[in-house]
Structure 1
């Protein structure tokens, strides 16, 4: 018997559509459901919906979206149409068929359609006036992504910094950051390596984002969207093994208790070596969540995470010391060579977090959201590393050492009120919110003294054997010209923000918002002069954007935004802290671009930007940092993500970037020096082709131009092109496997740097095999 049209569209699917304008919700639903949906925009004028979340059949889902709208859904063959509800008196009603038809498919592998992060409202990506890249769950699985550094490999305009071998550090449009990390829109700024075992997708938002994220959100931010319990049962386990003794296991189990409650548990264990001599890593994490929906208008999510990471702190190799004005490069040694001592270089962290999310949709059309996150971090790292470059005349190079202990308690609470309304023919989506937060950080640094000599903070070793076994005593130095951190800082933040997304015409939209941050720092330096400084910054971060859509799938946009980064926490550990150094950095972005949904499952984006940064902290060598007046970065970014055909998926892009500093840094760099870690050209593309429904293959190409390791512009990392590959096999309904090959042709390259003397070699060819079981 032939399958009926109804059967073809009746399977239950999971939906996540926020409250807002009914027209926008129906467009998103058509894309998520992969159906043809027709309606007359005039019928929807001024109408709102309470949204949709959970598992529904198509007809059931549309009925929910149309609740209290005076509209109904009718079936037209294999498609659907929205029409008015017939008159109650039974009079015959003439129905005019809609003039607009929305069609979509449901096989998006790499192309996301909307985000709730960039505007705090569920908005189509093409209606957000800034460059955004979404690393989807499918892409995370296909590339076997385990870290943020892995996640941004194919994101134009974002690079990877070394982070001194103990923390995530990314470069957004020429601006290095170790703190612009968020989880579900809440700050997560401690310095450690994050894993993606409990992450649904990763969103990279580029440009100044102060209005949405408050402090930080400077050159860009990374937001991780966590997996949460829902009514789609899941039981997935993965087992991975590979080169350099890598072993990894993950579990993702979700269970539906009843119509009101569901639970989910994600867990990770990994034990891995490295191509680097003496370097290894072990991590363990567990993240349970509970979701409760007492009514169809109320949702409560509770989650927690316990995470531990223990690894060798690896700061790579050093460079050759050149004459003044001479540009040199990394030393010519094997890429496995460790500099310093791996046995006494280690980093470990314990993270414990508790979070909640509460949402209620009122009959009046208002939506109230509240999110709370409490996190405590306990971190220690110690490194014995190359503190200078190789003297080619003597064949010697300096080795230094220090350790650092940091504890931090974060608590943030964010409340948003959303409402959609019309003022005449103009539609508004309003957002008003308040955020309060407190961070208390304790930091202690100790310098390594070789052979217990107060004056011996460095030793010299030959390049032929750059590993030292000399005894080292670690001491917090107090007084004189030497001062190690022994600090306590308390940061209190109170933020108010308001935003309006305005649809003046169907073709013309405006987004305008402003945020006020009251940022108070109580900083106590417990050694040396024992300074106790208190500062307060009153910061205003505006955002304004215009979107013009000549046709529905195509938008042109322009935007202006600002962000501020007050000094707090880790930024104060390497500075001689004064009122001057406590002044915030300021970021201003001008951006224009085009977004084109070539098809519902294929998105193209191009952006041109200018990013100005003032009162900048720049890292040069060792633990030294310097203030500069500012820098400017300009660039062009192009990206493509989605389905070229039904069995061919692609994700990648190109970036052209130039940047320079605006003033001299005495003894370090001159005005006009090139911004560090900023390659002029980068190109990357990942392409997967499914040969049959059970077998697929993928290739990835990454090219990075040469770049300077620091503002001195004395050490250049050469350009490289690296090729990755993967094979996929669906053995049965429950089991699938994949093999990922990194650096297929064993290219020798340098992946990242922290300064002129800490440079990370890229991995040689590495193979990882995974078996994934679903029950």
Structure 2
């Protein structure tokens, strides 16, 4: 961990030193500081310009340089780069005529005159030509629809309209308007992707289409991210979701989809923000975000936050620190180098909720806490990512990424209720034991992608060729548990005198679990005509999984290693009867590595999962509204379950005798802003059942997955001139349908005591209001206005109630 802290410190120091190293005569930081004074566009002397830059074929032009031409000291160093969706903004420009110089590798440099009006933001959307001929005019286009903006996690710039797969993107504007704090808040906007549990109160377990996401399904800037800690939302530019199988791109991932967190990127236009958020239960959170150009070729960004909070749960509190520096260096007309890092320290009270009594949730107050006040979960997480992008020609690009991540976790406190055969009795008495676990994990990944466009006659190809390799080194330290610490009554905490001392638990065993993976893949989007497009690809993956368990008392160790490889194909067909409508069908295959051995003692082969998907995507009303619908079936027809041969009862001896089938429907609607109004909505239906099993009841539902989810958000911004201009209103509704937890009934056990726990459906209603000006913003939000009650449950031993009604307010200052 120390090396990550030194790395972040070095990066910050480099950001401060580069002006002196790279510019002996001109100090742009002086200009940035000068520009920070009196930069309110409402002063009648200044204005702004914003818009989108696209290429000739309508694709977003990311990282395009936009500079203000001239020798006026107030504008000479003014500039910015476009974001990955092609958007840009230049603030605090003097009123009058200016010339924007727009340039990027492989695209014709453009000079465009612009008139800045006092106190106004001018909309200027630009199209850059890819030919060498002189431009005669500038094409003006509106904002792109949700079906036109590619997602970066797809590795190649394919518009969602051309992709035979369901895609969802939640951008920064929605995150700000809704005042999102946790990933669960973000996922209220993504139907079919949901939080399935909040074990211990320190993580949010995610699932989609009936399949749980693990760390292999969660990404940050395209690199795998350990989701055992709650990610920091304030640092995100957007959240991307690719639903369904993405095994061809990333190898061993669950079938439900992948989630990519995209952090804020460096910008050449100087600016920043400081903010303070306060809320219910003693919550407060200061944050900052600073960015700017160090030279014409180097830009930086640094954002961070501190958070301190109590909880609606008695004796529960949390504290976290986060910092996210990044640096962008333009090494030439064709090459860019992006360096990103982040560090998170999260400490909070260990809270496994209220537990179940005979597989039923007891009627307890929402604030009832059954753990110890000194119990804790302490997490440190740091990552460093370097990305080198080089345009080989106007048509071909290579991108190389290397990333390293460290994750340390120390958990110490009471056992989960009902764990270790210490069940909560009918009268509420529960014998509490103690547990402790330590996790130390290091993760490395390197990947190279070649992307390009070629033509074979009249047929056009968008190609992706790539390779990746990654390693996990996970060491888990288990401690000797304390079977009996004390006894508590869940209905009457005053019934027993509770212990407050902190015993010392000795270490018991160390489990080392290295994973080595590698893969190569190729994918081609073939435009057979304007109407027909074919997406085809194949990936070969190799994975080596080991486990060494060492008993620390006698240093005895046992080691097991498995080797797996798999081919995972992808095939999809898109028909576009017109530019605004696309119908698609697709097939994809993924695999899941199995633990345990077969009846002969051999390692189990991986399970292969087949997914079929069909849908329609529409851009309606001249692109104002995107409306998409998808149906799917996902089937794991060789699910590993305990072998029943020869009366076997060893759960480590398994056979591929089970089958799980997931079927569903998803509907997504998203609008652009018109007259200050925008909205998004969605609905999903999913049914995931055991369709074949030698262990559980055939036809029974898999746990944690709701049959129905729905969401709707509407936003309004006052646009008329006057004091009311800048007022923002928002309303969000989220529905989580009925689902089950507990433990699935086993048909192989006579008089099996296992039972499923039905969880009630609920609707959460959130509201937000804001007043947003150029230099400051005041926002307030209220969540769970109806004070709905439901639970996030893992098995029958971590039953955490959802938060009640809460309010918060944020004041931010921009420059």
**TM-score, structure 2 length as denominator?**
0.78
How much does 1:630 deviate? 3.2
Secondary structure, counterpart of 1:138 in structure 2: helix
Secondary structure, counterpart of 1:349 in structure 2: strand
* Residue number among 341, 349, 358 corresponding to 1:304 in the alignment: 341
Q: In structure 1, what is the equivalent of residue 783 of structure 2?
A: 742
Q: Is the 8 A contact 2:147 2:619 kept in 1?
A: no
| Counterpart check, 1:560 vs 2:580 | no
Superposition map of 1:22-41 within 5 A: 23-24=56-57, 26=58, 28=60
Q: Cα gap change, 1:144/1:462 in structure 2, threshold over 3 Å: closer, same or farther?
A: closer
| Counterpart check, 1:194 vs 2:231 | yes
How much does 1:103 deviate? 4.3
How much does 1:702 deviate? 1.4
* Residue number among 164, 172, 190 corresponding to 2:199 in the alignment: 164
| Counterpart check, 1:489 vs 2:513 | yes
Q: In structure 1, what is the equivalent of residue 361 of structure 2?
A: 330
Deviation digits for residues 42-87 of structure 1 (CA, Å, limit 9, x no counterpart):
xxxxxxxx9989889998548976539xx99999xx9999999999
Q: In structure 2, what is the equivalent of residue 481 of structure 1?
A: none
CA distance in 2, matches of 1:147, 1:503: 40
Secondary structure, counterpart of 1:688 in structure 2: strand
**TM-score, structure 1 length as denominator?**
0.82
How much does 1:271 deviate? 0.4
CA distance in 2, matches of 1:51, 1:419: 19
Q: Is the 8 A contact 1:105 1:601 kept in 2?
A: no
How much does 1:333 deviate? 0.5
Q: In structure 2, what is the equivalent of residue 513 of structure 1?
A: 537
How much does 1:210 deviate? 0.4
Greater mean alpha carbon deviation, residues 463-472 or residues 542-551: 463-472
Deviation digits for residues 583-618 of structure 1 (CA, Å, limit 9, x no counterpart):
544332111111112243532221101112356589
Secondary structure, counterpart of 1:748 in structure 2: coil
Q: In structure 2, what is the equivalent of residue 409 of structure 1?
A: 442
Q: In structure 1, what is the equivalent of residue 728 of structure 2?
A: 696
Deviation digits for residues 270-316 of structure 1 (CA, Å, limit 9, x no counterpart):
00111011111111011111100022211001122121111112221
CA distance in 2, matches of 1:626, 1:316: 33
CA distance in 1, matches of 2:600, 2:133: 73
CA distance in 2, matches of 1:634, 1:247: 43
Q: In structure 1, what is the equivalent of residue 392 of structure 2?
A: 362
Q: Cα gap change, 1:582/1:281 in structure 2, threshold over 3 Å: closer, same or farther?
A: farther
Q: Is the 8 A contact 2:305 2:323 kept in 1?
A: yes
| Counterpart check, 1:604 vs 2:637 | no
Superposition map of 1:715-734 within 5 A: 715-730=757-772, 732-734=773-775
Deviation digits for residues 155-212 of structure 1 (CA, Å, limit 9, x no counterpart):
1111212242232310111112232211111111352221122211111111111011
Q: Is the 8 A contact 2:341 2:384 kept in 1?
A: yes
How much does 1:516 deviate? 1.1
Q: Cα gap change, 1:382/1:586 in structure 2, threshold over 3 Å: closer, same or farther?
A: farther
Unpaired runs of at least 5, structure 1: 1-9, 34-49, 89-94, 323-328, 453-457, 479-484
* Residue number among 739, 759, 769 corresponding to 2:799 in the alignment: 759
Superposition map of 1:414-425 within 5 A: 414-425=447-458
| Counterpart check, 1:114 vs 2:157 | no
Q: What is the RMSD computed on CA atoms of the aligned residues? A: 3.8
Q: Cα gap change, 1:499/1:767 in structure 2, threshold over 3 Å: closer, same or farther?
A: same
Unpaired runs of at least 5, structure 2: 1-46, 66-83, 91-97, 115-123, 643-650, 720-724, 745-754
How much does 1:473 deviate? 5.3
Q: Is the 8 A contact 1:546 1:559 kept in 2?
A: yes
| Counterpart check, 1:268 vs 2:302 | no
Secondary structure, counterpart of 2:248 in structure 1: helix
Q: In structure 1, what is the equivalent of residue 614 of structure 2?
A: 592
Q: Is the 8 A contact 1:54 1:231 kept in 2?
A: no
Number of positions where the alignment pairs a residue of Structure 1 with one of Structure 2: 697
Secondary structure, counterpart of 2:662 in structure 1: strand
Deviation digits for residues 331-357 of structure 1 (CA, Å, limit 9, x no counterpart):
10101111232422x111111222100
Q: Cα gap change, 1:220/1:447 in structure 2, threshold over 3 Å: closer, same or farther?
A: farther
Deviation digits for residues 372-408 of structure 1 (CA, Å, limit 9, x no counterpart):
1011111111242312697674443454432211101
CA distance in 2, matches of 1:83, 1:280: 55
Q: Is the 8 A contact 1:387 1:400 kept in 2?
A: no
* Residue number among 402, 405, 408 corresponding to 1:375 in the alignment: 405
* Residue number among 654, 663, 670 corresponding to 1:641 in the alignment: 670
Q: In structure 2, what is the equivalent of residue 680 of structure 1?
A: 707
Q: Is the 8 A contact 1:613 1:630 kept in 2?
A: yes
| Counterpart check, 1:387 vs 2:418 | yes
Superposition map of 1:76-475 within 5 A: 103-105=141-143, 111=146, 113-165=148-200, 166-179=202-215, 180-189=217-226, 191-321=228-358, 329-344=360-375, 346-363=376-393, 365-384=395-414, 385-387=416-418, 393-397=426-430, 399-451=432-484, 461-465=489-493, 468-469=498-499
Q: Is the 8 A contact 2:585 2:615 kept in 1?
A: yes
* Residue number among 539, 562, 573 corresponding to 1:546 in the alignment: 573
Q: Is the 8 A contact 1:74 1:81 kept in 2?
A: no
